[in-house]
Amino acid sequence: MTTTPRIRVLLADDQRLVRAGFRSILEDEDDIEVVGEAATGTEAVALARQTRPDVVLMDIRMPEMDGLAATEAIVADERLADVRVVILTTFDVDDYVYGALRAGASGFLVKDTEPMELLHGIRVCARGDALIAPAITRRLIAEFASRKARQPEPSPRLNALTEREREVMGLVGAGLTNDEIARRLVLSPATAKTHVSRIMTKLDVRDRAQLVILAYESGMITPGWLS
């Protein structure tokens, strides 16, 4: 009898009670396994290298090394290329979240999220998708992109995209799901998904969250671009 591999999760939060709460929720699930707990960013990076989890639930504010720096360290480690980082925050809009997404995080969760949303988020990230709800994408990324003083930096990598792919990438950046993109461009959902996958491959980005960031930072789209 073949068993489905369990999703390996590393918890990184400086509050023991918070970690215990998350562990209690996750250990009730047959397909999820908690492989370690870290109380500092330094510990999170070390344990990620030791345990090779599928998903790291990363608090932003931690001693020694904060969650942003720890995320950068994990994403930069080629040995951890398959590890996905989900940022934990006490606010649905946090000044550090945009930086965390730029650093390579696959999304974020609010700490008081419902257990079912937490479990769904972990499963979404474990399969390689970005954990940013479309509505949050539009509000969060637009807000922080609009604060950036510097001019957009056109990326030569975008030259590899076809006109259709640039159109699809712009819609991803605006927060549309594959199904919404398919309806807007009169495509099948499977075709929309294929376009997104090809774009990610051409641009060498980890996931959908990185496409959103690149779309804004390259000037491909701007806040409020899609009405």
For residue 65, what is the DSSP state? S
Q: Which residues contact 138 (CB under 8 A, 6 or more apart)?
A: 174, 175
Pairing of strands 107-110, 84-89: parallel
Q: Which residues contact 12 (CB under 8 A, 6 or more apart)?
A: 37, 38, 39, 41, 43, 44, 47, 56, 57, 58, 59, 62, 67, 70
pLDDT beneath 70, residues of the chain:
1-3, 91-98, 129-154, 222-227
The Cα 33–Cα 145 span in angstroms is 36
Find the helix or strand (DSSP H, E) in which 56 lies: strand 55-59
Nearest to 34 by CA among 16, 60, 18, 54: 54
- Please give the pLDDT value at position 186: 94
Instruction: Tell me if 107 sits within 8 A of 79, measured CB to CB.
Output: no
pLDDT in tens, 42-91: 999 999 999 999 999 999 888 889 898 999 999 989 899 889 999 887 76
For residue 156, what is the DSSP state? G
Nearest to 108 by CA among 139, 133, 77, 75: 133
- Please give the pLDDT value at position 133: 55
- Please give the pLDDT value at position 143: 61
Q: How many beta carbons lie within 10 A of that of residue 188, not counting itself?
A: 11
> Any idea what the Cα angle at residue 122 is, between residues 165 and 35, rounded to 5°?
130
